[in-house]
Structure 1
Amino acid sequence: MAAGQSPMSRICDGESVFQGAHGEVAWSGVRLTADVMADLADGPWAERVGDLESSAAVIEELRALATTEMAVETVGALLASEAEPLPWEVGEALAEVLLEHWHSVVWVWNNARDRRTRKASLPGADLVGLSVIEGAATLLFGEVKSSSDASAPPNVVYGRSGLIQQLERLTDKNADHWTLIKWLRARCSTQEHRELYKAAAARYVQSQGRDIRLVGCLIRDTSPNERDVSVRGVALARTVVEPMKALLTAWYLPVTMASWPAHVGLENSA
């Protein structure tokens, strides 16, 4: 790495191990190094998983409101009740960080804030954001799967709840687009995000709901294998047609999936 290179810039130092395309579907595989993993854990990955900045503000406020010994105990018990994030949550957060830094995706909100119970997966698409390439914004919808399955492709790619069928459903503008667009617009709290949203929504409307970007992410602790995404990527190309585009990304981590919560330092956090 270059002298003076910041930890944030090193996030993009992963090793590209394969890439390919079929029609409007592209795929790629990246092996993350131990150094990249350390930089992620020290910053954006842990922040995304735990929504640390927002949580810190709530904690500070609650502690300021605790003016009696019993109140202090109540706040302490509340903080101690925070559950350890599950590996799939940690993998989903990592996908968002990597897409932001590798593929110019803008997130207007952290999904961790919407969970009503810590161990429940939110309905709808895992990923809802904006793809911004050379200043042009496009609506982005996607799904994330984490897997230690040694098979290539892994089982999480197949079936009704598998990665590819979930993406195929998102190609249908009559499926979840309205709900996802409403969700995204309601969370554009800055002028910059609102302008990007308007530009992306205009492209969507003018293209009769076809100009969107789909992303499918596999987070793996196995050896890189292009078949993880290429086999089903070819099949997905049958339903992804211009101007719609899809990207399948596989990210290979040097630590086991079970240890991901510990790696970001959020295990049994309180």
Structure 2
Amino acid sequence: MIPAGTVTYTLGTAPVTGIGYSFNQDELNECLAGPVAEKVFDDEGNEDIAAFLGGLVDTQFAQDNVRKALSRTKEPEDWRVGEALAESYLTFHRGCFFPWPDSRDERKAGSSLPGADLVGFQNDGQTVRLAFGEVKTSSEARYPPGTTYGRTGSKQQLEDLRDDQSIRDQLVLYLARRAILGAPWQQQYRRAATRYFSDSADVRVFGLMVRDVDPHQDDWRARATKLAKGCPESMVVELLALYLPAGSIATLSQKVLGSRKGGAS
């Protein structure tokens, strides 16, 4: 579990709403030392790899090499930590599950893949739907920040998820290619995909900003208004802003790495 934060503003009306949350330093440290670090370093994936490779090697030397390969902890980019924080928030406070981190598909460390940043499911206790998330991390002292605009900005990406079924289709197939490998979440995928192919707009879309400036509804106000126009009835869009203490973003990588070496500070 991670702290829920303090609500600083709400805006919009269904099906498109927005909320700002603020976090103090202790709350941020709690996040970074727990679930966020686990996602940044993909603890679950590494445990699975260790178990698989451990069954292939039978000498101490080979086992040491496996451990060495898995223990290479490179300092992550601040944006990647911001993305892990956003993912953790959706996991614990919106009933979401994102089973396949895009870092597992990287050919080299530090690269990012096209498409939604987060691809998975939302379970509201009764139904399971596909959930897609776009995350931007910015310290820019303007509202909204520059990461909102341009071809890879949140404005365009969220509009694409709302309007372009072909993009949503590709994300659904992206998960399918991993689910068919016998993933433990295969049944969740079946339920969500069945719902999706009955109504391709019946998804949850999340826009998230990770910020370390004073909270202000202008981060999402215009987007909430414009995304509501023409939004399919069965689609729900939620825009979240997570406001961290001033200057936090530049030290996110350092802090999450430090949490593995004795605690965030």
**TM tier, shorter chain?**
0.7 to 0.9
Structure-2 change in CA distance of 1:80 and 1:47 (3 Å): closer
Q: Hey, what does 1:127 align to over in structure 2?
A: 118
Structure-2 change in CA distance of 1:232 and 1:266 (3 Å): same
Q: Deviations over 1:174-215 (max 9, x none)?
A: 432222111212334455x333222222222222x1111111
Displacement after TM superposition at 1:227 (Å): 0.8
Displacement after TM superposition at 1:43 (Å): 1.4
Q: Hey, what does 2:229 align to over in structure 1?
A: 238
Q: Hey, what does 1:88 align to over in structure 2?
A: 79
Q: How does 1:156-171 map to 2 (within 5 A)?
A: 156-171=147-162
Structure-2 change in CA distance of 1:57 and 1:24 (3 Å): closer
List, as ranges, runs of 4+ consecutive aligned residues in structure 1 with deviation greater than 6 Å.
Answer: 71-75
Q: Hey, what does 2:197 align to over in structure 1?
A: 205
1:226 has 2:220 as partner: no
Q: Hey, what does 1:5 align to over in structure 2?
A: none
Structure 2: which amino acid aligns with 1:263?
K
Q: Deviations over 1:210-252 (max 9, x none)?
A: 1111111100111111110112211111242211111110001
Query: Would you say the 8 A contact 1:147–1:156 is kept in 2?
Result: yes
Give the share of equivalent positions with the same residue, in percent.
Answer: 34
Q: TM-score scaled to structure 2, two decimals?
A: 0.85
Structure-2 change in CA distance of 1:267 and 1:117 (3 Å): farther
Structure-2 change in CA distance of 1:49 and 1:205 (3 Å): same
How well do the aligned residues superpose, as a CA RMSD in angstroms?
Answer: 2.8
Unpaired stretches in structure 2, ≥5 consecutive residues: none
Secondary structure at the residue paired with 2:3? helix
Displacement after TM superposition at 1:49 (Å): 0.4
Q: Hey, what does 2:90 align to over in structure 1?
A: 99
Displacement after TM superposition at 1:79 (Å): 6.5
Q: Hey, what does 1:172 align to over in structure 2?
A: 163
| d(CA) in 1 for partners of 2:171, 2:237 | 17
| d(CA) in 1 for partners of 2:61, 2:201 | 58
1:16 has 2:7 as partner: yes
Displacement after TM superposition at 1:109 (Å): 2.1
Structure 2: which amino acid aligns with 1:175?
S
Q: Hey, what does 1:40 align to over in structure 2?
A: 31
Query: Would you say the 8 A contact 2:4–2:93 is kept in 1?
Result: no
Query: Would you say the 8 A contact 2:144–2:219 is kept in 1?
Result: yes
Secondary structure at the residue paired with 2:166? coil
1:259 has 2:251 as partner: yes
Secondary structure at the residue paired with 2:242? strand
| d(CA) in 2 for partners of 1:73, 1:138 | 41
The number of equivalent residue pairs is 256
Structure 2: which amino acid aligns with 1:161?
T
| d(CA) in 1 for partners of 2:30, 2:73 | 25
Displacement after TM superposition at 1:268 (Å): 11
| d(CA) in 2 for partners of 1:241, 1:57 | 39
| d(CA) in 2 for partners of 1:90, 1:125 | 16
1:195 has 2:194 as partner: no
Displacement after TM superposition at 1:162 (Å): 0.9
| d(CA) in 1 for partners of 2:141, 2:214 | 8
